[in-house]
Amino acid sequence: MSARPRIGIIVGSTRPVRVGRPVADELVSIIETAGADAVMLDLAEQRLPLLDEALPPASGVRTNDHTIAWAEQIDALDGIVFLTPDYNSGYPAALKNAIDYLKAEWEGKPAAIVSYGWAGGRSAAAQLASVLRYIGVALQGAGVQMPFQSTDFDESMRMVDAPAFVARSRDELQASIELVVAAAADELVAV
Ligand SMILES: Cc1cc2nc3c(=O)[nH]c(=O)nc-3n(C[C@H](O)[C@H](O)[C@H](O)COP(=O)(O)O)c2cc1C
């Protein structure tokens, strides 16, 4: 029997009250339905400092414990879902920082971008796709853009029902994640 691919969910937002984590929690069952195991990689929990390695990541030299731990977690994945909000027409600094820490671990990794925002996070997704292609991530399909509606938020701008928000894009998410799982499974067979 072949092993189930391990698909990481990289939660790109780190604010104390955020949409990112409850949305990421909803992606777990979609990944599992697609035949893979989900691994939550929440940047708010990783607490990576701003890049503090002396040598560039392409050197492969890692000296700090947090760099080594982050590298090991990414290396252990067979595929990745990058989950990003749209911050001022781009993706969050914490996500760029987490990407910049590594090089070889990203290369060839099947992945999809899932974004959210008032226009579905399309600017953030486009910017992130450009960077991920540059570092050699194997993006599968066009990803998924999840647009907010005003009724998604209460008067204090907290999302009222993250499962309902994700459910509106469930078919698209399932199709996108299935592409990542299929590519990840192919890589597992090839090894
Ligand atoms: C710094 C910042 C910038 C934002 N810029 C945008 C934007 O350009 N486009 C957009 O649709 N929403 C924007 N928003 C609203 C976010 O889409 C919304 O707050 C969302 O919940 C952010 O994701 P998070 O809760 O996971 O941090 C911005 C929010 C923040 C905090």
Residue 3: per-residue pLDDT? 85
What's the rounded Cα separation, in Å, for the pair 12 and 18? 10
Does ligand 1 lie within 6 Å of residue 152's CB atom?
no
User: DSSP strand E in 56-118: where?
Assistant: 79-85, 110-117
Q: Look over the chain and give the mean of its residue pLDDT values, rounded to a whole number.
A: 97
> What percentage of the chain reaches a pLDDT higher than 70?
98
171: phi > 0 → left, psi -120 to 50 → alpha, else beta; which?
alpha
- Cβ-based neighbours of 187, under 8 Å, separated by 6 or more: 5, 78, 108, 110
Residue 47 backbone dihedrals phi, psi, to 5 degrees: 50, 50
Give, for ligand 1, the residue of 86, 127, 150, 166 to mutate: max count of ligand atoms closer than 8 Å to Cβ: 86
- Are 86 and 115 contacting, i.e. CB atoms less than 8 angstroms apart? yes
As a whole number of angstroms, the distance between CA 19 and CA 24 comes to 9
Could you tell which of 87, 89, 127 is best to mutate to test the pocket of ligand 1, judged by most ligand atoms within 8 Å of the CB? 87
* Domains in the chain with CATH codes: 6-190 (3.40.50.360)
Task: Please tell me if the CB atom of residue 124 comes closer than 6 angstroms to any atom of ligand 1.
Answer: no
- Sequence-distant (6+) residues with CB within 8 A of 53 are 61, 62, 63, 64, 67, 101
Check if the beta carbon of residue 4 is closer than 8 Å to that of residue 37: yes
pLDDT-derived band at 189, boundaries 50, 70, 90:
confident
Q: Which atom of ligand 1 is nearest to the CA of 119?
A: 11
| Torsion (CA) 89, 95, 96, 102 in degrees, nearest 10 | -160
| Residue 85, ligand 1, Cβ within 6 A | yes
120 CB near ligand 1 (under 6 Å): no
pLDDT of residue 2: 61
Residue pLDDT, tens place only, 46-89: 999 999 999 999 999 999 999 999 999 999 999 999 999 999 99
Contact criterion met (CB below 8 Å) for 85 and 127: no
45 Cβ contact partners less than 8 Å away, ≥ 6 residues apart: none
Which percentage of the chain shows pLDDT scores above 90? 96
What pLDDT sits at residue 190? Answer: 79
Q: What is the pLDDT of residues 96-140, one digit of tens each?
A: 999 999 999 999 999 999 999 999 999 999 999 999 999 999 999
Alpha carbon of residue 64 to chain centroid:
23
Tens of pLDDT, residue by residue over 138-162, are 999 999 999 999 999 999 999 999 9
The response to whether residue 158 sits with its C-beta less than 6 Å from ligand 1 reads no
